[in-house]
Amino acid sequence: MGVRVRPFECWDDFKRYRMEYYRNYLEAKENGSIRWAGSAWAFDPVPAGLGEDVYPLTGEPYGATAAFFRDFSMRALETIERKGAARDLCGYMRNYWGSVAMDRYLLADGAEIEPFPKPDFNFTIHICCTHAKWYHYAAELEGGVPTYAVDISVGPGYLLNDKKIEYVVRQLEDAIQWMEKVTGREYDDELLIRAVENEARSMTLWSKICKLNQNTPAPMEEKSMFSFYVMTLLRRSDEKVVKLYEKLYKEVESRVKRGIGALTQEQFRFVTDNPPPWPFLKVYRYLEENYGAVSVGSIYTFGLGAAWLGMDEKGENWIWEPAPTPEEAGYEIHDRRSALWWTAMFNLKYRASWQHEYSHWIRKQETYQMVKDWKADAIIMHLNRGCELWNMSTLEVRDYLVRNGISVATYEGNMADPREFDEARTFNVIDSFMQSLGIEKLT
């Protein structure tokens, strides 16, 4: 007897928010509002203190959306390459730069708008080799945009101490003064406090939702999760995002209780690691339709915007348990400094994707533990040429997992460059892998 499946009731709510997000940024200046651009990892509660009419455009989700629409992506990539950008740079960044260089802005439904809306300022973080340079060059392409980058390279969360947190807090204090200067607005600490609390609630809620996918049958498959996780990267400090995740949590919890799954026949569970090849998400449908194989999550969708306890105090084992909100931790946020301290500590310590850059061992442990906790039969790894940061240590992790008895398949590609993906070869890799494990096709 097959598993019961049904569409997500809140699906349209998430889709609507995403549509409004890109349009709000586009139309902000018509209403005298402020718009800023920066990494999805930027401390987005900080600009929120400038007012309730401040709209961000985060670069990585925008680059992924551009990549999904292949024709637009091809034109953007070729435009920026003619200006001298190398093909081995970040795929998201090249799509973003190309979009700016073409002076064409892409909405979530693929509609193109001209001109590309210029931000009032860029505000980002720097942890990999491109984050700050991304916006320095974007500012040049746009004819000069004030840009501020926060250095967060202080080491993994389990080695965090007050001195390291203070280093980031002081940069954020300076950033507020800088934002007041470039926008001419007076900063509101109450809006900051509310945004910091919302950020923690959004990230912890997404962690709790991911945990529910440990159940069998899995209530979610990863292709749908791509539409859910991204809210933590668009505007996680927005109260509307908190409410979306509260609604999703209740729905996923209900699906678990009623035995509603992602697939009618779940005969194989796997996890993934890197960003997916956005122009070729049909890989996930191929696995589902041909093998009843469900991707129950990944280091990317779980780790990019969620908050987890992470490495234990000794740095030996990874713990996939949701991190506490300020309320759960008994921490009172009452002024600017306590708000900045919390958002700095919370992101540096609990954001999973800010941990494994410092150590192959951390990446190995978080991947191994994910396979175990989500009861996966295997991991399918994307050797992603589009992101040096996320691809770092991938092959070392592969060897570690194989040595520990976990089945691993790898395929090559690029998260945001459709020219670097061989669809037929990837399907052959999948077929060979499944045959080697004795998994037969459904039909």
The answer on 288 and 154 residing in a single domain is no
Closest alpha carbon to 406 in 442, 374, 362: 374
Check: CB of residue 306 under 8 Å from CB of residue 234. Answer: no
Question: Which of 135, 161, 187 delimits the end of a domain?
Answer: 187
Check: CB of residue 182 under 8 Å from CB of residue 121. Answer: yes
42-64 pLDDT, tens digit per residue, is: 999 999 999 999 999 999 999 99
pLDDT of residue 1: 58
Residue 386 belongs to some domain of the structure: yes
The answer on 376 and 258 residing in a single domain is yes
Q: How many angstroms separate the CA atoms of 384 and 119, rounded? A: 30
Torsions phi, psi for 69 (to 5 deg): -90, 90
The answer on 236 and 174 residing in a single domain is no
Closest alpha carbon to 219 in 2, 442, 441, 4: 4
pLDDT of residue 128: 85
The answer on 155 and 197 residing in a single domain is no
Q: How many angstroms separate the CA atoms of 76 and 95, rounded? A: 6
Residue 102: CATH number of its domain: 3.40.50.11890
Residue 328 belongs to some domain of the structure: yes
Nearest-5° Cα angle at 8, 2 to 11: 150
What DSSP assignment string belongs to 201-259? Answer: HHHHHHHHHHHHTTSSS-S--HHHHHHHHTHHHH-TTSHHHHHHHHHHHHHHHHHHHHT
- Domain region containing 157: 10-187
Contact partners, residue 92, CB within 8 Å, separation at least 6: 59, 60, 62, 63, 64, 67, 386, 387, 415, 416
Residue 313 belongs to some domain of the structure: yes
Q: What is the pLDDT along the chain (443 residues), one digit of tens a residue?
A: 588 999 999 999 999 999 999 999 999 999 899 999 999 999 999 999 999 999 999 999 999 999 999 999 999 999 999 999 999 999 999 999 999 999 999 999 999 999 999 999 999 999 888 889 999 999 999 999 999 999 999 999 999 999 999 999 999 999 999 999 999 999 999 999 999 999 999 999 999 999 999 999 999 999 999 999 999 999 999 999 999 999 999 999 999 999 999 999 999 999 999 999 999 999 999 999 999 999 999 999 999 999 999 999 999 999 999 999 999 999 999 999 999 999 999 999 999 999 988 999 999 999 999 999 999 999 999 999 999 888 888 999 999 999 999 999 999 999 999 999 999 999 999 999 999 999 999 97
The answer on 279 and 130 residing in a single domain is no
Closest alpha carbon to 296 in 215, 404, 397: 215
The total number of structural domains in the chain stands at: 2
The answer on 178 and 66 residing in a single domain is yes
User: Hey, what are 360's tokens?
Assistant: 């192959």
Q: How far is CA 32 from CA 28, 35, 51, 142, 412, in A?
A: 7, 10, 11, 20, 46
The answer on 78 and 140 residing in a single domain is yes
Quote the mean pLDDT of the chain: 96
Residue 259: count other Cβ atoms within 10 Å of its Cβ. Answer: 12
Check: CB of residue 369 under 8 Å from CB of residue 318. Answer: yes
Residue 2 belongs to some domain of the structure: no
Question: Which of 159, 187, 215 delimits the end of a domain?
Answer: 187
Residue 4 belongs to some domain of the structure: no
The answer on 324 and 216 residing in a single domain is yes
The answer on 211 and 176 residing in a single domain is no
Closest alpha carbon to 274 in 414, 420, 378: 414
Torsions phi, psi for 271 (to 5 deg): -120, 165
Question: Which of 187, 202, 233 delimits the end of a domain?
Answer: 187
Residue 43 belongs to some domain of the structure: yes
- DSSP secondary structure code for residue 87 in this structure: T
5-18 pLDDT, tens digit per residue, is: 999 999 999 999 99
Give the pTM.
0.97
Residue 3 belongs to some domain of the structure: no
Collapsing DSSP to helix, strand or coil, 311 comes out as: strand
Residue 5 belongs to some domain of the structure: no
Q: How many angstroms separate the CA atoms of 369 and 362, rounded? A: 11
The answer on 235 and 157 residing in a single domain is no
pLDDT of residue 127: 87
pLDDT of residue 130: 87
The answer on 429 and 396 residing in a single domain is yes
Location of structure tokens 């959004």: 202
The answer on 391 and 315 residing in a single domain is yes
- DSSP secondary structure code for residue 277 in this structure: -
Residue 408: CATH number of its domain: 3.40.50.11900
The percentage of the chain sitting over the pLDDT mark of 90, rounded to a whole number, equals 96
